[in-house]
Amino acid sequence: ALTEQQHKEKAQGSQTSGPKEILLQQVLLNPDSCQKFELFVSSKGEFLENDARFWVEVQKYKDLFHSHCDEGVLQNKISVLIDCFIHTCMSPPLRIDVPPDQVQRILEKRYEVDPYIFREAQMSVFDKLLRFWPEFQELSSSLSDEQLLALLQRKQQQYRAKRRRQKSKEEEIAAMRITLEELERQLEEDETEEEMEESTSKVLWASSKDMADVEQKEKLLRKQTSSAKHQHLPTANS
């Protein structure tokens, strides 16, 4: 496992700066082009739009840190980033594409004002976004801004509609599963009750049979006793 210092060195030194990386960074740092890129990736995956927003907000945090602003402001910014992207109140709590070990390290340091707290996560989402850069560049170079915006908005709506249908189907399947589980549980309860009733019936029948046998034996015994008494009674002539 990497030590804390190795993680920090990795965070400081692993962000490559090739032509693609520089161009994507410039796009993300420009509000207009960033909006288009966010729209573009929003139809490519569930959290990619969040990835782009997270990258931008981390840049703002780093700018704040280097401007030597109040520590309370920096701590508040850290909390906002964590609550919005890392450990939200939604399901799932993690709303960006980063591995669990990075999340754990961020949460462990959430109360420390550290310029590198989000660096690994920022690099992870950047690497994810970089995969879509060539396609976005090709598309944006072949259309006017108005055409590109209209196309991206339409694709986003189609993707969201597809996601809603998928979610609705998943919820329907989950509801059916719950219903089936309830039916199975009810059948098991009914079978248990039937078994208990059957067992009780057998006990009652056996008890009834035993009582009948006892009564029969008592009658037979009384009959035998009565017969014996009659045999031993003295006759009138004796």
- Whether 218 maps to a domain, the answer reads no
| pTM exceeding the 0.85 threshold for the entire prediction | no
Q: Which amino acid is at 215?
A: E
Q: Which amino acid is at 96?
A: I
What residues make up the domain containing 72? Answer: 4-142
Q: How far is CA 220 from CA 69, 225, 228, 230, in A?
A: 109, 9, 12, 15
CATH number, domain with residue 99: 1.10.167.10
What pLDDT is attached to residue 96?
97
CB-neighbour burial class of residue 41 (10 A; exposed 0-12, middle 13-18, buried 19+): buried
Tens-binned pLDDT, residue by residue, of the chain (238 aa): 445 444 444 444 445 578 899 999 999 999 999 999 999 999 999 999 999 999 999 999 999 999 989 999 999 999 999 999 999 999 899 999 999 999 999 999 999 999 999 999 999 999 999 999 999 999 999 999 999 999 999 999 999 898 888 878 778 787 888 888 888 888 888 777 777 777 666 666 666 666 777 677 777 777 776 666 565 555 555 4
What pLDDT is attached to residue 186?
86
The DSSP secondary-structure symbol of 67 reads T
- Whether 217 maps to a domain, the answer reads no
- Whether 23 maps to a domain, the answer reads yes
- Whether 203 maps to a domain, the answer reads no
The DSSP secondary-structure symbol of 234 reads P
- Provide the residue count of the chain: 238
Q: How far is CA 71 from CA 59, 61, 120, in A?
A: 17, 12, 22
- Whether 193 maps to a domain, the answer reads no
Residues 6+ away with beta carbon under 8 Å from 86: 93, 94, 95, 96, 98, 103, 106, 107, 121
CA 220 to CA 71: how far, in whole Å?
104
Quote the number of domains for the chain.
1
CA 92 to CA 112: how far, in whole Å?
25
Residues 6+ away with beta carbon under 8 Å from 46: 163
Would you call 95 helix, strand, or coil by DSSP?
coil
